[in-house]
Amino acid sequence: MTERSTTTHDTPAPSRLDLRLLPKADLHCHLLGTVRAGTFAELARREGLALPEAPERIFASINSRPPDPELYRHTRVPMPQGRSDDEPERSYSLFQASEWVRSVLRDADDLTRITYEAFETAHRSGAWHLEVSFDMVPAHLRHLGYPAWVEAHAEGIRMAERDLGMTGRLLAAIDRSGTGEEALDWVRTVTDHPHEYVAGIGLDNLETAGPPERFADAYRLAGAAGLGRTAHTSEHVPTARNAVTCLDVLGCDRLDHGYFVLEDDDVVARMVDEQVPFSVASTTSRRSWRPWRRASIAAMVEAGMNVYPCSDDPGMFPTTVLGEYEILAEQVGVPDDRLVRMARAGFEACWLPEDQKAAVLRRFDETVAGLAR
């Protein structure tokens, strides 16, 4: 399959690209997964949370177990079946770590803090724009109410805009382990209380929990309210079908992950033809899957799909959006000009208002042109 450009705009490509200086948009980042181990340690001590090990050790030992390996015996990109060399002796799942972090959040100040720190971390990677997913209000914080919950996150973004010169948006995350009715109620809450920083919705959690069409009503409501729509798809279930469903039934504007679209040549051809934006991450909490992830992304790039790196859960993997670009350059072999096109594609796919997006794209082009000198 012939590779096609992710954009019709020809951006000059610097030689020997300094990836630290390349402007980046990170569009797929779970807020709980951004929390620093040090911040978690401080909050856990304050709340008296008993942990089996120090937070720094827990985060360094996150290693979620893959689903039944029999599902992946015959994938087109071979899936490792055994353990990886870097698996810790004692592992913690990403979900367990996230639940511990959620449990120590006490008030609006905590929410503002972790949001701002997420932007600080992204800024160190050269990110200009960050979109973070936030979950439903947990039971122990329902006294805040949804409007105050969102406003606390938004204040963290405003601080980042003021201090770091970044832009940012929030995505309301649907937990796909819940029911379609629960998802609809959640999106109704979001649409009943519109906020300038809440730009879209996403569909999270293990894809094996259920098919995306279960959430069609929630996505329809979000679309009617003018919210952007994305979803984790073709990440855990070895079929391209779910990615198609996310486009045609859920009406998604962009997709997260999508590695198993490679199982169907016709779907790959469609994704290339339509240049569907995909946020991809080389690093995952399933350590044995990391080589497969990188080989899959390489195949997506070779096919001409519109992919760009994201950090996903940078505090807990751990990784950074800069680190994800470095992996693509150094381990996957993506050339400089394609990395630049990926970075621009991230800004093109972001959910800033159109006038802000146009302005940041002009600034991106000017910055990259300067790097090329």
At residue 1, the pLDDT reads 40
Q: What is the pLDDT of residues 136-175, one digit of tens each?
A: 999 999 999 999 999 999 999 999 999 999 999 999 999 9
At residue 66, the pLDDT reads 79
Taking the C-alpha atoms of residue 124 and residue 119, their distance in angstroms, rounded to an integer, is 9
Taking the C-alpha atoms of residue 319 and residue 285, their distance in angstroms, rounded to an integer, is 10
Which residue stretches of the chain have pLDDT < 50?
A: 1-15
Taking the C-alpha atoms of residue 313 and residue 333, their distance in angstroms, rounded to an integer, is 23
At residue 86, the pLDDT reads 84
At residue 83, the pLDDT reads 83
Taking the C-alpha atoms of residue 61 and residue 316, their distance in angstroms, rounded to an integer, is 9
Taking the C-alpha atoms of residue 232 and residue 257, their distance in angstroms, rounded to an integer, is 6
Q: What is the pLDDT of residues 17-45, one digit of tens each?
A: 899 999 999 999 999 999 999 999 999 99
Tokens encoding 293: 């992830």
User: Which among 321, 313, 359 is positioned nearest to 342, based on CA atoms?
Assistant: 321
**Amino acid in position 150:** V
User: Which among 308, 317, 293, 306 is positioned nearest to 129, based on CA atoms?
Assistant: 308
Angle between the 265-274 and 241-248 helix axes, to the nearest 10 degrees?
40
Whether this model's pTM surpasses 0.75: yes
Q: Give the helix/strand (H/E) hosting 303.
A: helix 290-303
Is the separation of the CB atoms in 238 and 262 below 8 Å? no
Q: Which CATH class for the 24-39+109-371 domain?
A: alpha beta
CB-count exposure of residue 156 (10 Å: 0-12, 13-18, 19+): buried
At residue 373, the pLDDT reads 66
At residue 3, the pLDDT reads 38
